[in-house]
Amino acid sequence: MLTDDGKHLYVSWDEYHLLTERLALKVHHSGWEFDQILCLARGGMRPGDVLSRVFDKPLAIMSTSSYRAEAGTIQGRLDLAKYITMPKGELAGRVLLVDDLADTGHTLRAVVERLRGMPSIRELRAAVIWVKGVSTYLPDYYVENLPTSPWIHQPFEEYDGLRPDGLAKKFAV
């Protein structure tokens, strides 16, 4: 649900799952065949997992981080993992890069540039759920374009401030 001022978008678990399924259909309807999925941790892990299952393709994971301060609401220096985690082999062939959103676009652009420098990758396309209006990178596939660039409140953010003692209180009898 987008707030009246256009500055905040609140997404429920049901909406999140439906948007992820719509992303899978966009990729499918494009007719593009790919060999592997690379998701960006942490935001791309959930949609990457779903797409990996729907398309029955191996899932690789690359850790990235730029949102750290203030419970993950302030962007800082971009860190890209040196290694990509995969069950076997190397990232190669036609690769679908998956993340949750293109916010500023800096992370996606940096990862795409790095991957395009890998000779084992023949073709690379990117897929996200949301693209913000301020993004400098437009992925090949996306579900929603958000021209007002709202802050997206995703359903799993409830865990950002939750600690084990908070869980213990939740389940206290």
Question: Per the domain annotation, does 169 fall within a domain?
Answer: no
Question: Per the domain annotation, does 160 fall within a domain?
Answer: no
Mean pLDDT taken over the chain = 89
pLDDT in tens, 62-89: 888 765 444 444 555 666 656 678 778 8
pLDDT in tens, 126-152: 999 999 999 999 999 999 999 999 999
Give the CATH number for residue 125. Answer: 3.40.50.2020
End-to-end CA distance of the chain: 34
Residue 66 and residue 43 in contact, taking contact as beta carbons nearer than 8 Å:
no
Separation of alpha carbons 144 and 129, rounded Å: 6
Total-model pTM: 0.88
Question: Per the domain annotation, does 157 fall within a domain?
Answer: no
Q: Name the token pair of 89.
A: 């082999």
What is the per-residue pLDDT for 82? 63
Question: Per the domain annotation, does 165 fall within a domain?
Answer: no
Question: Per the domain annotation, does 163 fall within a domain?
Answer: no
pLDDT in tens, 11-54: 999 999 999 999 999 999 999 999 999 999 989 999 999 999 99
Which range marks the domain in which residue 50 is found? 12-149
Separation of alpha carbons 80 and 40, rounded Å: 9
29 CB burial (10 A radius; 0-12, 13-18, 19+): exposed
What is the per-residue pLDDT for 147? 95
Integer CA distances (angstroms), 48 to 7, 166, 169, in order = 27, 29, 32
Question: Per the domain annotation, does 155 fall within a domain?
Answer: no
**Per the structure, how many domains does the chain have?**
1
Question: Per the domain annotation, does 162 fall within a domain?
Answer: no
